[in-house]
Structure 1
Amino acid sequence: MPEPVAEGVYALSFLRTFHNIVTDQTLKFEDKVHSLLTFGLQVFELDIAIISKIQQHNYRVEYVACFNNELAAGAEFPLGNTYCVHTLKAGQALAFHHAGESEIATHPCYQGFQLESYIGAPIQVDGNSIGTVNFSATKISQPFTQQHIDYIELFAQWLGAEIARRKTIEQLEQNNQTLGKLEQAANIGTWQLDLTNNALEWSQQTKIIHEVAQSYQPELATALTFYNEGTSRQTIQQAVEDAINSGEGWNLELEITTAKNKLIWIATQGSAEFENGKCVRLFGTVQDITDAVELKNMLARQKEAAELMLNERSKLFAKISHELRTPLNGIVGMLNAAMTEQNPQELKQQLTVALRSSDILLSIINEVLDYSKISHGELKLEPSHFLLKDVFNDLTNLFTSVCTNKSIQLNSHLQIADDVAVYFDSTRLSQIVSNLLSNAIKFTEQGAVTLSVVACKSDKSAEYVDLNIAVSDTGIGMTAETITALFKPFNQGASNITQKYGGTGLGLSIVKELIEMMQGQVSVSSEFGHGSTFNIRLQLPVGSVQAQTHITDTADNEIDLSSLAVLVVDDNEINRIVMTSCLSQFNINADIAIDGKDAVEKCRAEKYDLIFMDCIMPIMDGWQATQVLRADKLVTEKAIIAALTANTSESDQLKCEQAGMNLFITKPVQNTAIKNALASAAQAARNSADQSAHYQ
């Protein structure tokens, strides 16, 4: 219990003590608050002093002073359970000296804490009550006078003003920090030129931008030398003269070279100040906008690239549309002619042209699909073990007849050991060389096309094979301009070349992308009118190839394919007709199923040696059907299930293998693929029969 001040404490004494507390520069705000609360306990002769913070219906003790430490800062109560709810409602100071005999005797605060004496006032900031300052005790005090009310309101007013001031200072400090960060982030400096004495001043940030020391003293003549000679310096000199003569300001983007020889872009703004019609001062800002200029230039380049890509896509659609129509015209025209042709020899020739046109059409489609995959980053290499020489022997055999038909010679020089095996994507390697050979033959009217291949163990690592490929021709050759744009899509050189020889112009672009995926190199040398030579260098991982059993034509003839039980599963009627027609050439009368569910029912009734299974079908697809056939043992272990699909990715092949399919055949289906599938099924059936005979 504090010792009361002597009765009749004079207002002057109170104000002097109050003033000494609130003006003491050595005290922090928290110390001043504690001193005021302690002083108030003496003035009001009470036990507890509180500064509260009110948020909605919550009462929080922010500061407290009491002699028995029965209450601590941070305590919270429902606002309705405190006397302060009446103070806030009244909006002014309120006091009770004997609460038990007043209208608040039923208040929860009196019921719970038996507080008899209370005096408090609301603390207002910006016209809003944010809390209260109040003093209380469980004892009955002397009645509070108007002087006491004035004292408590003075406490509240100072607290409100001080809290508002601190809030303003904090906001200003925060704003200053934010402004400083923004200026630093924006890299903006200021400058001013006093024309009465030609004194030039740079701010700290301006000096940083120019990369000079903070002690550097700029002058007008030397300041202008930072601007690059030529347009930038002439522009700023003219802007300064115009501002001095006419008061016209400037807002320019110019290049400067800093004191450390760094080339940057700045945005400089300037204004003029006049007195009595004479310019006395220039002032403005300077900002480093190098990043913004570079971004703008990058966006301009991207826009140009996007427009170029859009133009290339337009070329693609026009080119592909034209190229597709040519083989389609051959297919449709020859088939229409064959419908009424009576001469067997003419009919065969017409069908041959239709087949050749279909091969051209398929080649165009494959090129477009490959280019699309490359453009979207979806093309992946699919390596396997194979004998390297086999690939080039096959290509030589394939293109020899093509050259013969065109009356030119194909020379093949293969320096590859018979046992050199590699682990690589044989399909893509063959595609690259095939594309180069096709181009060489296309653009060669007379003379020869030469394929030279050298393969040897790498000098750097025994785990790799160095492969050097050269495809040369005696054809029309190329100009330097054509070579520069050679590997760009849709480009075939001069328009007359494109019109004469046709093609999509995607082939060499695909070749370049594939070689880059293989981390190889491709180069070309050519002389207009005297042929071209393409050189490729690749490094292939060493592989291993075990002895394989090849089914030869003789072996095929020894196997009676007509005895095979074959099922064709496809939801498309035309596809079923095509497959059954192709199988009939091998004396096979195949059964058909219209979807996976139908195939399962067919296999419940009969055992098949070979099933051609379409993958994408309604009701039950080919993968699901295969899983059911294998799981329920509706086919024998030796039965061959061949996937038929237009999807050729590695993931599609893996999905078919996981479902239980043995072979993977892509659409459109070639007779060779059908023949190989039949031979595999016949071989499996014969092995199964031999095994059964062995156990009998």
Structure 2
Amino acid sequence: MLHSAQQDIISYTIRQLPNPTLFLNKNLEVVYASDSLIEAFDLKKRKVVGQSILDLAPNAPKQWLEVLGNCLNGVQGQKGIDRFIGSNREVFWFEYINNPWYDADENIIGILIQVTDITERVNIELEHEKTQLLLKSKSEIARIGSWEYDAINDKLHWSEMTRLIHEVPEDFEPDIAKAVEFYKEGYSRNTISLAVHKAIENGKPWIEKLQLITAKGNEVWVLAAGKPLYKNGQYIGLLGTFQDITQHSLSEQKTKESERLLRTVVDSLPLNVYIKDLESRKILVNRSEMEYLGAKNAEEVLGKTDEEFMSDTSARMSREEDLRILTHGKKFLNQETIAVSKDGTHTHFLTSKIPLRDAEDEIYGLLGISLDITELKQKEQELRELIDVTSQQNRQLLNFAHIVSHNLRSHASNFSMLLDLMDHETDPQELSRIESLLNDASENLMETLENLNEVVTINSGQPADSVKTVKLSQALSRVRSSLEGLIKDSGAQIIDAIDPGMTVQGVPAYIESILTNLLSNAIKYKHPDRQPVIRVIGSRENGKTVLSVADNGQGINLERYGEKLFGMYKTFHQHPDARGIGLYITKNQVEAMNAQIMACSEVGEGTTFKIYFSA
């Protein structure tokens, strides 16, 4: 046994060894271990000396354990390669050299294991194998072969894939002449012959898409490429590649046929179809879009924006639509738009715009589809005008019926009251006055009938001076005469605050009917505690003539009944003669004259109606 000092020296020396080294006793326990080994196998945190190698490497392969056993029996130099995964999951490769450990008397006392890190070498070999496998796979997948011509020995070599493409047997010996004869007679054979000649004579490389006939008679498309080889400035041969592109060519041909078919279909659509890039430049247009833009061919449109064909406003709106789609990816579907061309022509479109995305889901443009609906919009407008005319006529007929009913009832009531007064009156002078009032009422009735006849003319589609200049003060005077009996019976006071010269453009029958309704309502719904006072005022507001009828009657709760105020058969007071039709008629008559009516009221104080006539 060596004494302790010698053992320390040996242990220290072994620890300094640059290569990972391990000494095991016969029990496969570690006696010495170099620091480089402990570091290589990430054993810094573990006790190594005195530990069994089986504990330190529990996953060691059985084959290595057999090698260790052989070492104890004197077998030297046995090697092995193993993979080790570090704590950071990094992979290392090591080569082991296993030898017996002898003492000074040549007795085997254990095992000496020397380890070499061969990670870099293994990775290079693996990468080389991977590259070769990848190249072979690519060659098989892409059907790319190679060839080399040795001009000095006049030998042509084809790779395995080149032979497969030519469909020749394994014992086929190619040469330049035979290789050229495989190309289809005509363009392909002439092209390859000229390319080879230029390469040899002028050093010019080539790459051509050609057809050839294989040894089995099959016609294929190939991409043939080649270039001359030189050594010390002297031509020594040719080198090239050879790719079977038959499927690609067929697919390309089918794609072109599909594109032609699609183009025919798109050009035949009664729609404007276009594609824009991120700058809103058109990169594809169909025939309808070209015709709309006044272009003879696509070249006049492609690469241009809407600014070159539309008004500034239309172009700006179109660009804003494009940006929303290109920026946010939102679709713009079935929206009615109006495009104004440079010459001022307005075209109505039903437009859809859809973002176009690439394989990475990035937007690279948009597809636009527009249907010209200008004619449809014109028909729609004509139909709307027809409906408006029909509605107007229906409304006028309804108004006429209500005027007949309402106004004649007012005259009848007036006659009834005057006759009732006559029955109870004994004073000759008063009877004479009542007879005069009856005559006036009769004349007013006749005038009302004449006005109604004029309304009939209007509703029959024969305007015939239906809209006239009406003096409001005179119209009020006639209405007051027709309502004289009602006014007298109720004790109402009518205050005429209209300038005698104030006029409006309107239908006389409508204006008198409106005044009749408003005055009779003011009397009918008078306040029970006071005599009715009605002010009829003419004024000017914001360029319009305003006719106001203000009373001191019961008033209307507009918060409750405001929305129903001008509705048909809507009543707001308990009165036996309430029909709920007067204000409905009034509103329709006002609107028929392109005027407006508004009301303000306070319960218990009274109501004011204002009619705004256009200048």
Q: What band does the TM-score fall into relative to the shorter chain? A: 0.3 to 0.5
TM-score (norm 2): 0.32
* Larger Rg over CA atoms: 2
Which TM-score applies when normalising by structure 1?
Answer: 0.29
